[in-house]
Structure 1
Amino acid sequence: MKRRSICLAACLLLAACAGGARNNTPAEVYDFGLPAARLAEGSGWAKLALEIRAAYWFDSPSIEYRLLYDDPLKLRSYAASRWAGAPGLLLAQHLRQQLGLLDSSGRTAVSCLLRLELQEFSQVFETPLLSRGVLQGTARVIDARHQIVAERAFSIEQPAAGADASGGVRALVVASNALGQQLAGWLQELEKLGRLKQCPATIAG
C-alpha cells in the first residue's frame, strides 16, 4: 500500500511538472493587424450600427479548424495558437473600420442595425497539406421596428498559404477583407435604391 501511494504521488508530480512546462510556453497570439483602411469616405453608412452574433462555439479565442478527410463534423482548435479575442469581436472591429459603421453598444442612438450572424469562421483542410479559410453567415439590415429591411447570405473561401495556424489566420483575415468589400457593394446598392433612407442617426444626449 505504501509503495502504491509513493507511485501515485510520483505520477501526480510528473503530471504537474508537465502541465507547468506547457503553461510556460507562450501561445502564438493573432489579431487582424493594423487598423483597416476605410473603403468609402463620405457614405451614409454611419447611420448604421454594426452587430455580430456568433455561434457560441466561436465565442472564444480559439483558432478553429476542421479535417474534412478525417471527420468533417469535428471542430478542433490549435493548442499553441489563439486569437487575441473572440473572432466575432475582432471581425466587428475590422468591419467598422472598413465601412465606417457605429458600434451597436455605443452612445450614438441609431435607427437601423446591420447584424451579421456568423455561422462559420474556421480553417478547413481538404488534405493534410491543403486548406482554406471559410467565412459564412447572413447579413441583415434591421430598422427601429425590428423589421428586416434587406437580407443576404455570404460565403467566402480563401486558400491558406500554410497548413498551420498562421496560414489559417491569414486566410481568414483576407476573407474578412473580402466580406467588407462585399458588404460595401451591397450597402451602396441599397443606398441607390433608397432603402437606407429610413435609417437616420441621432446623437444620444
Structure 2
Amino acid sequence: MKNMTCRFSTALTAVFILSSSLLLAACATDQQAAALFDLGPLRSHTPVNASAPLPALSIADIKAPIWLDSQAMFYRLNYANDLQPRPYSASKWTMAPAQLFLLRLKSRLSQAGGVVVPASDGAVNLPVLRIEADDFSQGFDSAGKSSANIAMRASIFDGRILRAQKMFVKQVPTTSADAQGGAAALAVASDAIIDEMTVWLATLPPKK
C-alpha cells in the first residue's frame, strides 16, 4: 500500500512538472510570436511655418493613464462598446507609447534646431514642457474601417508658473484595419502632432 501511494505521488509530481513545462513553453511561444511595433525611423523633415527659432527646453516624462502605461497596443470597437479599450493579443509596442512619443518629440525638436534637456537634469532657468497623454489608440467604426487617435495636452511652465497650454488632437485613417495599420497611422498622427507642437513652441511669447 505504501509503495502504491509513493507511485501515485510520484505520478502526480510528474504530471505537475509536465503541465508547468507546457505552460511555460506556451507563454514563451506567445512572447516570441508577438509582433513588435514602434514609430519607425526618423526622417529628415522641417515642420511647416516653423521658421522662428525654438526656445531651449526641459522636457518632463509624459504622463499617461494606467491603461496606456505599458507595451500593449489598444483599440476600441466604436460600433460595439467604445468605452472599453482592448489590447491586441499578438501585437505590442517596443515600449510604452508615451515613451515612444517622447523620444520622437526630442529627436524632432533637435532636428529643427532646438535645444532639449531632460527635466530630471535640473537645468536652471529653462522652461519645462509637460505633456499629458489622454489617448493613443486605434478606433474601429466597423470591422473593416479604423483610425488612429491621439490626444495630448502640452503645458509650458516657468518654474511653477503656467505660461501656455494647448490641446493637440489628431485622427488619421488606417490603410488596413489591423495592428500593423494602426501602428502606421499612429506614427503619422504622432509626427503631425509633433509638427504642430513645434510650431506652437516656436511662436510662444518670451518669458516675462
TM-score bracket, normalised by the shorter chain, equals: 0.7 to 0.9
TM-score when normalising by structure 1: 0.80
User: Does residue 47 in structure 1 map to residue 56 in structure 2?
Assistant: yes
Give the corresponding residue for 1:187: 201
User: Which structure has the larger Rg over C-alpha atoms?
Assistant: 2
Corresponding position of 2:113:
none
What secondary structure is seen at the aligned counterpart in 2 of 1:45?
A: coil
Q: Which moved more, 1:70-79 or 1:103-112?
A: 103-112
Unaligned runs of 5+ in 1: 199-205
What is the CA distance between 1:115 and its match in structure 2?
1.2
Give me the CA root mean square deviation: 2.7
Amino acid at match of 1:181: D
CA deviations 1:163-183 (Å, max 9, x no partner) are: 111111111110000001111
Q: Residue 42 of structure 1: CA displacement?
A: 9.0
Q: Check the 8 A contact 1:123/1:134 in 2, yes or no.
A: yes
Q: Normalising to structure 2: TM-score of the pair?
A: 0.79
Unaligned runs of 5+ in 2: 111-115
Structure 1 residue 14: Cα displacement: 5.8
In 2: Cα distance, 1:19 partner to 1:74 partner: 30
- Provide the identity percentage: 30
Report the CA distance shift for 1:110/1:126 in structure 2 as closer, same or farther (over 3 A): farther
How far apart are the structure 2 equivalents of 1:48 and 1:128?
A: 43
Secondary structure of 1:184's counterpart equals: helix
Identify the residue that residue 77 of structure 1 maps to in structure 2: 87
1:1-205 equivalence runs, <5 A? 17=22, 20-25=25-30, 26=32, 27-37=34-44, 39=46, 44-51=53-60, 52-100=62-110, 101-106=116-121, 108-144=123-159, 146-190=160-204, 195-198=205-208
Task: Spell out, residue by residue over 1:85-117, the C-alpha distance to the aligned partner (whole angstroms, 9 max, x if none).
Answer: 111111001011111233222364452111111
The CA distance in 2 between the partners of 1:112 and 1:189, in whole Å, is: 14
